[in-house]
Amino acid sequence: MATEDEQQARRISWRWVLAWTGLGVLLLCAAGILQGLWNWSGVSIDILVHVGGTLLLAPLLPFLERSLTRRVVQANERMVQRETAGLRQQVDSLATRIDQLQGIVDQQDAETAEDQDRIIEALSNEASFMNVAGAMTVANLLGALPKGEIAVGASAEPRIDLTFSWQYHLGDGRFSEPSGNFLGVRAQVDADPGGMTPAIQTIWKSGEKPETVIGRINDQLRQRDRWNGSGTIDWEQVFRDLQRGIVLAVAYKRRDPTVEWQLHGGLYELHGQDWAITEAGIEYRPGGQVVLPEYDFPGGDERRGVSPSNLGDWAPAPPSGADSAEWQHVLGRGLFHLPVHRGPVLRQPDRYPCKTLPKPSAAQSQGVS
């Protein structure tokens, strides 16, 4: 709406319109009389005619200006109305009624959890690169596997634990190490008599079947004299424990009360049916509690003389009813992860949990075995 001053400024002064019109007519009449009666000609008559005509047309300008202004204003108003309507429609489309908001959020969470469960459940039926990496991606997205890896017990004699890692490697040009997402399989074994622990590991490529990867690990175990015949590792149980560990870790992050074992922290390792090493410490399923908190693990100067293969004088008592040998093994494995370091970053890590779902290889997409 125009203000009073603007309306006053737009009001036409008819006094000036009549004055300019009268003066223009007077000059045109004077030019006609001078030319008709006294035969004037030349520049004087032309000046009178041009000036008179100009003065006669000048009063029309306010009317033309008002008409043009009115059209421009109307066009601007229509444009503003259209833009305002579009903006209002956009705002309305991004708004949600408060009384419907919680239901929509709960439905979204339920659908997300259903999609996650579907990906993890696939690993319970078939072992493949896609199923293992997909299930670990779900866990990594939730932060359920703090290091992007999970270890499971594989053999008691000889002692073997298997670690599956789905991580992004930064790579190192000095050693020709490429960067990218890698699914690693690593066998954790006891150290040699001389103190060296053999490196038994491989990278599971997207186009490989699980038996190909298992064959490479078994070959390295035989070469390192960590083999006790064809039943040394029950690979079916390994993959079942791997899937179970991911289920428990994801359930902890979602605070899902439906699982059979409620963990208290992100999962590092799962050993058998009863033991878990988490960010909270060592957890024991029969009691459903953390039986050795992470802050009770030796750190700093307290760690001198204590190692996973030699606990030294540090030997907390096992929980009631627990197997002593299993307890000793879990204590040693816990030293690899605990206590949790919460101080400043001492060095830049070169591996991170991978949070990207793997892409099917050409062979998988074409169904080629």
- Higher model confidence: residue 12 or residue 367? 12
Rounded CA-CA distance 180/201 in Å is: 17
15 assigned to some structural domain: yes
- Identify whether residues 299 and 169 lie together within a single domain: yes
pLDDT, position 307: 84
Q: Same structural domain for residues 156 and 294?
A: yes
Q: Are residues 83 and 132 in the same domain?
A: no
Looking only at the bridges linking them, the beta strands covering 149-156 and 267-271 are parallel
pLDDT digits (tens, 9 = 90+) for 347-368: 788 899 999 998 876 545 444 4
Q: Model confidence over 273-296: pLDDT tens digits?
A: 999 999 999 999 998 999 999 999
Same domain, yes or no, for 79 and 194?
A: no
202-257 per-position pLDDT tens digit:
999 999 999 999 999 999 999 999 999 988 999 999 999 999 999 999 999 999 99
CA distances from 356 to 25, 132, 181, 214, 252 (A): 86, 13, 8, 24, 21
Name the pTM for this structure.
0.75
Q: Position 107: which residue type?
A: Q
Higher pLDDT, 123 or 2: 123
The range of the structural domain enclosing residue 20 comes to 4-91
- Please tell me whether residues 238 and 337 are part of one structural domain: yes
Determine if the peptide bond prior to 158 is cis (ω within 30°).
yes
Residue 283 lies in a domain: yes
Does 259 map to a domain? yes
Compute CA 78 distance to the chain's CA centroid, rounded to the nearest angstrom: 42
Same domain? 220 vs 144: yes
Q: What angle do CA 62, 63, 65 make, to 5 degrees?
A: 60
Cross-strand bridge partners of residue 160: 155, 189
Alpha-carbon distance of 150 to 165, in angstroms, equals 7
Is 12 in a helix, a strand, or coil? coil
Which of 91, 108, 143 terminates a domain? The answer is 91
Q: What is the pLDDT of residue 60?
A: 64
**CB 48, CB 31: distance < 8 Å:** yes
Question: Do residues 67 and 130 both lie within one domain?
Answer: no
Residue 104 lies inside a defined structural domain of this protein: no
3-class SS at 18?
helix
